[in-house]
Amino acid sequence: MYKAVLFDLDGTLIDSADDLGAALNYVLARHNKDVVSADCYRTQASNGTIALLKLGFGEQWHRLSENEQETLKQMFLDFYKQHLWYKSRFYDGITQLITHLDSQQIPWSIVTNKPAHLTEPLVAQIPEFNLCHNIVSGDTLEKAKPHADPLLHSCRLMNVEPHQCIYIGDDERDIIAANSADMKSVAALWGYLNGNAVSSWQFDLSFKTPWLLLNHISSCFNKK
């Protein structure tokens, strides 16, 4: 029986691809480059700023100097930080899942590779996340996912043992981290999946919708 739930953020709790894509296309437009379609940028939405910029600039990216790359990265981040929760949205069923956890006083947390300077202001704009027990960002510790340390750190903050937790994410690194931390690993099949098939991921469970995950969690928690 679980005692706590840990979530990845982008591609699991929220669909932030369109805000990230808007930041990318802003930078591209400012440099007279063709914008990238949603179908394309969604495949890189959970891989960070550099991955998105590489997608947009293609081979030209590698011909840029470090200073030029850093300028583009900062332009992207400046735009994105002003539009963290504009086009982003919850996946259908997530608000009901969070409401259930809160009503049952089940501790839950967010463990993401998104850096804290983006994660914290984003989460602060979302009232549904007010009772999130803790947030572990990609730069909270020395190591990020797929290393187990961020998940273990979140467990310590909740005062629960890793084997009593379930971790849900939409990327193979989430599954690797959960398995390494001795947690129940769950693939969020509604997420980005980085355009990859998940058949090789060694997850314990997978769900096509948050509603199915909610049903599972409802049946597996000891009621207080």
At 224 the pLDDT is 45
Q: What is d(CA 147, CA 160) in angstroms, rounded to the nearest whole number?
A: 19
Residues 30, 36: Cα–Cα separation, whole Å: 13
53: which 2 tokens?
């910029």
Of 214, 162, 179, nearest in space to 3 by CA: 162
pLDDT at 195 (0 to 100): 64
Terminal-residue alpha carbon distance, the chain: 12
pLDDT at 118: 97
Contact at 8 Å (CB) between 145 and 174? yes
Active site residues: 8
Q: Which residue, among 67, 70, 75, has the nearest Cα to 28 in the 3D structure?
A: 75
CA distances to 64, 70, 115 from 77, rounded to whole Å, are 18, 10, 11
Q: How does strand 89-90 pair with strand 14-15?
A: antiparallel
Q: Give the distance from CA 190 to its chain's centroid.
A: 12
Per-10-residue mean pLDDT of the chain, 224 residues long, equals 94 97 98 96 91 96 97 98 97 98 96 97 97 98 98 98 97 97 97 82 97 94 56
pLDDT at 222: 54
